[in-house]
Amino acid sequence: MRIYLVGGAVRDALLQRPVADHDHVVVGASPDEMLALGYKAVGKDFPVFLHPKTGEEYALARTERKTGRGYHGFAVHADASVTLEEDLARRDLTINAIAQGEDGTLVDPFHGARDIEQRVLRHVSDAFVEDPVRLLRVARFAARFAPLGFTVADETMALMRQMVEQGEVDHLVAERVWQETRKALGEPQPSAFVRVLRETGALKVLFPEVDALYGVPQRAEFHPEVDTGIHIEMVLDMAARLAPGNDLVGFCALTHDLGKALTPADVLPRHLMHEHNGIEPLRVLAARLKVPTEYAALAESVCREHLNAHRAFELRPATILKLLTSLDALRRPERLEVFLTACEADKRGRLEHENDAYPQAAYLREARAAAAGVTAAEFVARGLSGPTIGEAMEQARCTAIGQVKQSTAQ
């Protein structure tokens, strides 16, 4: 029985990045032997065990054989005869197919360490095409490692295009697409995720609403990058810069301009009412991918209201109160923070505008604080009751927001 550290722990150590999880592969052991040593069995589809003291995962070396379409269509073989090299061969990328022995020696049959040095994301073998989730994983790793200079190998891109052409990605279930997308939106450069999917043709299959934005022009005086698809990429990366790791802000950034794909050709490059036209495609996308309710709701708010955020200084106090109320921001200020960050990312996710200030955010925060400071107690003390309390509170909140606006103007 031999134990090796594998996967991300080895990769990240070689990249001199923090190591989060320690996964191990066990060669030359049976399930009964693992149980006898005190390990706890947790794997449903293949033998995975938790260490009795550390709780870290230890999986028996295994091979996989394709038996059907999609990522469920595999037969798994795991016993003491499976070698370490056979186990590593079933992995997706060479940088994830490196093992480290207990003495620190690397086992690297597919030259993953070399690809780490050369900053290349490369598939291990042609068996890569058998699991469509791997296409999403490569795109996600691109989003994570693009800031370090990583690119996808040409031959790997060719394989992924082949997977799309042969319909493999059509068999991805919504939960897995969303799981990988959500992770990618929390990476340092999520635009790379979108670009890889687009270059392989998968974006058109999985996110047709986003794919449709490419080639759609915007007014150059407001959007020097012109292409709406490029704008989305820039907003995604700005969101990652403003709120590192926040995939909720990332999803709002991804979907805020979907309405621009629906603008009639004779109206371009203007996009009248795009903030309202984007609601329906956003709802379709969210339903198809089974996006969590809070993500869908906040993305819809950003889609509908981002222009109001940009022109916040021009809005009447009553309109600002309506905006805050629609966000439920008086009770839940964290929702306003997500909204404002996504709006700031939109404003700064433009060519030559990356360093623009966004004073609207501070103004709306102050307006929210002023409005939230108005409570029912003072009106009850005055003897008001029933609907008149709500009416009085609304008027008082508008007055409080007006005072903020006046002081800001000064």
Q: Are 137 and 180 in contact (CB under 8 A)?
A: yes
Split into its structural domains, the chain has a count of 1
Would 167 be classed as within a structural domain? no
Q: How far apart are CA 34 and CA 38, in angstroms?
A: 7
Beta strands in 109-172 (DSSP E): 120-121, 151-152
User: What is the pLDDT at residue 166?
Assistant: 94
Domain of 78?
1-118
Using CB atoms within 10 Å of the CB of residue 30, give its burial: 0 to 12 exposed, 13 to 18 middle, 19+ buried.
Answer: middle
Q: Are 228 and 177 in contact (CB under 8 A)?
A: no
pLDDT tens for 101-148 read: 999 999 999 999 999 999 999 999 988 998 999 999 999 999 999 999
CATH of the domain at 50: 3.30.460.10
Would 238 be classed as within a structural domain? no
Q: Are 298 and 335 in contact (CB under 8 A)?
A: yes
Q: How far apart are CA 288 and CA 24, in angstroms?
A: 36
pLDDT tens for 272-310 read: 999 999 999 999 999 999 999 999 999 999 999 999 999
Would 73 be classed as within a structural domain? yes
Instruction: Identify which of 282, 189, 270, 185 has the alpha carbon closest to the alpha carbon of residue 234.
Output: 189
pTM of the full structure: 0.91
Would 184 be classed as within a structural domain? no
Would 230 be classed as within a structural domain? no
Query: How does DSSP classify residue 17?
Result: -
Would 160 be classed as within a structural domain? no
Q: What confidence tier does 376 reach under pLDDT thresholds 50, 70, 90?
A: confident
Would 197 be classed as within a structural domain? no
